């Protein structure tokens, strides 16, 4: 294992975050803070509790998960797309560095940035809502597993994308609707039976529900099922990346 290569890629990607601090960190934190102000403080003060939890606290895990998924996909995809766009990807591929080491460097940096922003938002939430974490270690593990999984998914999108429109397609047009319809702002038990069944086909439901359980021990699906779904998606991403590295799909002319 070439740890110097991994460290070089990782540090380069983290340095890119420092150069774009306003866009990479401050913007998503401020955007999520507005959700807390509008839904947690303004709307939440006029709503009843959901599953025995104050509404502002109930939506907090979902908002954190929304930001975590979006940021990990965006960082994972842009990290590998821009070397393709500028042509420097061929210098990386021709270097004595294994594809697994390139993957660890880029995905590790994307997951770190996503985790960092999610933890900042978690700390920010304490200023707006009353928050308690029943299982902090499980919460961190679930957050880390989600960050790595969706950073891998972002890496795949970055390899697949031909232009900036395709690069932003999933994080902008796919993830937010799935998250809003995945129990972020409500419990699926509040829906009619038909729509409850439909909601269980939404993969984001399992992410939000499992993450919420680590906070309040309340969830729409069993937490072990949530962990199983995230782990399954992680394995699917790894399997697809193994095929990409074997065939050189959109990496080699």
pTM of the model: 0.90
pLDDT tens-digit profile of 102-147?
A: 999 999 999 999 999 999 889 888 887 878 899 999 999 999 999 9
Query: Residue 253 above 80 pLDDT?
Result: no
Interatomic CA distance for residues 230 and 224, integer angstroms: 10
Write the CA distances from 139 to 76, 146, 153, 175, 203, integer angstroms: 22, 11, 21, 21, 18
Contact 189, 220 (CB under 8 A): yes
Q: Where in the chain are the domains?
A: 3-247
Question: Token pair of 155, please?
Answer: 């890496």
Question: Token pair of 183, please?
Answer: 């129990």
Interatomic CA distance for residues 218 and 227, integer angstroms: 15
The percentage of residues in the chain with a pLDDT greater than 90, rounded to a whole number, is 34
pLDDT tens-digit profile of 148-174?
A: 999 999 999 999 988 888 888 888 888
């Amino acid at each position: 294992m070439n740890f110097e290569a991994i460290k070089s890629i990782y540090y380069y990607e983290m340095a890119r975050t420092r150069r774009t601090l306003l866009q990479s960190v401050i913007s998503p934190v401020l955007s999520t803070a507005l959700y807390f102000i509008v839904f947690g403080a303004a709307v939440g003060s006029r709503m009843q509790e959901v599953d025995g939890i104050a509404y502002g606290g109930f939506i907090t895990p979902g908002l954190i998960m929304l930001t975590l998924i979006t940021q990990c996909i965006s960082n994972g995809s842009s990290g590998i797309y821009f070397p393709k766009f500028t042509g420097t990807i061929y210098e990386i591929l021709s270097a004595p560095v294994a594809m697994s080491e390139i993957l660890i460097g880029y995905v590790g940096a994307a997951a770190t940035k996503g985790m960092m922003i999610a933890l900042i938002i978690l700390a920010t939430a304490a200023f707006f809502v009353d928050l308690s974490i029943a299982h902090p270690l499980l919460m961190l593990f679930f957050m880390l597993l989600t960050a790595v999984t969706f950073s891998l998914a972002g890496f795949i999108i970055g390899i697949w994308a031909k232009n900036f429109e395709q690069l932003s397609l999933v994080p902008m047009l796919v993830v937010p609707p799935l998250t809003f319809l995945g129990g972020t702002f409500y419990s699926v038990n509040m829906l009619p039976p038909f729509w409850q069944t439909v909601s269980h086909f939404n993969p984001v439901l399992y992410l939000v529900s499992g993450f919420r359980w680590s906070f309040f021990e309340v969830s729409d699906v069993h937490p072990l099922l949530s962990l199983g779904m995230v782990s399954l998606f992680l394995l699917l991403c790894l399997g697809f990346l193994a095929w990409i590295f074997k065939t050189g799909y959109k990496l080699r002319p």
